[in-house]
A and B are shown apart, each in its own frame.
Chain A
Amino acid sequence: MTFEPKIIGILCNWCSYTGADLAGTARMKYPANMRSVRVMCSGRVDPGFVFDALAHGADGVLVCGCHPGDCHYVEGNYKCLRRIPLTQRLLQEMGIDPKRLRLEWVSASEGGRFQKIVTEFTEEIRALGPLKLRDMKFDMNRPDRYSLMAEPGDKEHTY
């Protein structure tokens, strides 16, 4: 069974989502691994969205916005341009491959380019493998749990 990555695509309403829509109406095939989420502007993408996605099962996050200079809200995509590299740096320092977060500028007419980006990104994440996170949820019956007062006669425990 090949690993099927779960990718969250956060697409801005004006350019990227429309570009993705164009890929759809033109029947351009791309992997179904990407689940798309529409935001009004790529400047809305909070680093918390990326962490939330990765913490809850996503293997990769793709953020798409309007080309610099073309943002519907003038400056939103510049904020995104500043946020994503900072988020990638945080991911790297947390030990998560920063390649799992990708920023691309996709205009409303770039359906073909969107198809190419999603296909490439899916294969890249497939090669990276599933994101395995540890110590996310507290388990009371954890295997390394010892009782508060070990009883005499307990075998010698080592880590």
Chain B
Amino acid sequence: MTKPKLAVYWAASCGGCDIAILDIEEKILAVADFFDLAFWPCVADFKYKDVAALDDGAITLTLFNGAIRNDENFAIAELLRRKSVVLCAFGSCASDGGIPGMANFYDRQAIFDYVYGKSPSTVNPDKVYPQPLTKVPEGEVYIPAMWDAVWTLPQVVDVDYIIPGCPPQSDQIAAVVGAVIDILKNGKPLPPKGTVLGATESTCCDECLRQRDVKKIKKFVRPFEIIPDPDLCLMEQGILCVGPATRGGCGAKCVAAGMPCRGCYGMPANVRDQGAKMASALASVIDSTDPEEIDRIVAAIPDPLGTFYRFTLADSLLRRAQA
């Protein structure tokens, strides 16, 4: 009996999701036992033409991590969509744009101008920028064309499930993969399309073990400016934590270690725009009714856009910086 096929691909990605999958440690043996690996650039040497040669729907499960920001990312997203039965947006980049999504604060021209022009120690007086197709004496050289904006996987192809996180925590990955194996082995029904797997329906605050009281914030501080009490809510101590606007499922490990949540699990359930919700939550807990004092308190936040939308800019309502 042929084993079901598994594919894992990285688009505009850091590779952390692939490592997180390998971090399920000995459980990877159960995965290798049950699945036949069809394509996983990080760990095996399959080529694109091997995938193209498969029948449509030959791959049972594809875990696609990384955002879509060039021709290649999109072409392989389309290819894997055709060849897979179940396509999962795996990790923050594929689900919400992730860190690469912050390129949406700029556009391609601005990025090229900086990276190949104004960055420190770059000397490029002829403004040589990468081009998609270049004629050289030996022939033609092609590199995938970079797009002006970053897109998430669900924005460009039809996606079955979302597994959020930067990266999705390994215990959650093990649980999800275990559940998939269980479903496939025993013929159980798959969850409804569009379900978010490996995460809770609530926020990070629900998993946080710190003590929460009434939030009344008179001043925001950077984590190094105070010695935080290890048992109290970070927000209540003035440290900006995006936990209230972040989906749970990660076990609140960062907060347990004294680092405020940065929002990597993306939007909580029923929230369309993470940054807007965080701004809303923040405004609720600022303890002032005087417009000038409010301005002063808010001015202490150095980068609200980057802080609230660190992982979800590409999936926000306004999608990108518009100027």
Minimum C-beta distance from A3 to chain B (A):
18
Contacts between chains A and B (CB distance < 8 A), count: 140
Let me know if A90 is at the binding interface, CB within 8 A: yes
Let me know if B202 is at the binding interface, CB within 8 A: no
Q: How many residues of A contact B (CB 8 A)?
A: 44
By a CB distance below 8 angstroms, the chain A residues around B140 are: 150, 152, 154
Residues of chain B at the chain A interface (Cβ within 8 Å): 71-72, 75, 104, 108-109, 112, 129, 131-135, 139-140, 142, 144-145, 147-149, 151, 155-156, 271-273, 275-277, 279-280, 282-284, 286, 288-289, 291, 294-295, 298, 304-305, 308, 316-323
Minimum C-beta distance from A24 to chain B (A):
30
* Cβ-closest 6 pairs across A and B: A95-B323, A48-B276, A82-B283, A148-B75, A51-B317, A135-B149
Bound Cα distance from A156 to B133, whole angstroms: 6
Is the CB–CB distance between B294 and A81 below 8 Å?
Answer: yes
Task: Convert A97-133 into 0s and 1s, putting 1 for each residue whose CB lies closer than 8 angstroms to a CB of B.
Answer: 0000000000000000000000000000000000011
Let me know if A35 is at the binding interface, CB within 8 A: no
Can you report 10 A-B residue pairs in the complex whose CB atoms are below 8 A from each other?
Answer: A55-B319, A68-B289, A78-B289, A81-B289, A82-B294, A85-B291, A94-B323, A138-B151, A140-B156, A145-B71
Residues of chain A at the chain B interface (Cβ within 8 Å): 46-48, 50-52, 54-55, 68, 78-79, 81-83, 85-87, 89-90, 93-96, 132-136, 138, 140, 144-150, 152, 154-159
Minimum C-beta distance from A132 to chain B (A):
8
In the complex with contacts A144-B145, A159-B108, A55-B276 CB distance below 8 A: no
Contact of A94 among B142, B145, B321 (CB under 8 A): B321
Is the CB–CB distance between A146 and B71 below 8 Å?
Answer: yes
Is the CB–CB distance between B273 and A81 below 8 Å?
Answer: no
Is the CB–CB distance between B320 and A134 below 8 Å?
Answer: yes
In the complex with contacts A55-B317, A82-B286, A150-B142, A87-B134 CB distance below 8 A: no
Is the CB–CB distance between A87 and B279 below 8 Å?
Answer: yes
Name the CB-closest residue of B to A52. B317
Is the CB–CB distance between B283 and A93 below 8 Å?
Answer: no
Bound Cα distance from A54 to B112, whole angstroms: 29
By a CB distance below 8 angstroms, the chain B residues around A135 are: 104, 148-149, 319-320
Contact of B322 among A83, A96, A152, A159 (CB under 8 A): A96
Bound Cα distance from A57 to B112, whole angstroms: 31
Minimum C-beta distance from A50 to chain B (A):
8
Minimum C-beta distance from A118 to chain B (A):
23
Contact of B131 among A95, A96, A134, A157 (CB under 8 A): A157
Name the CB-closest residue of B to A78. B289
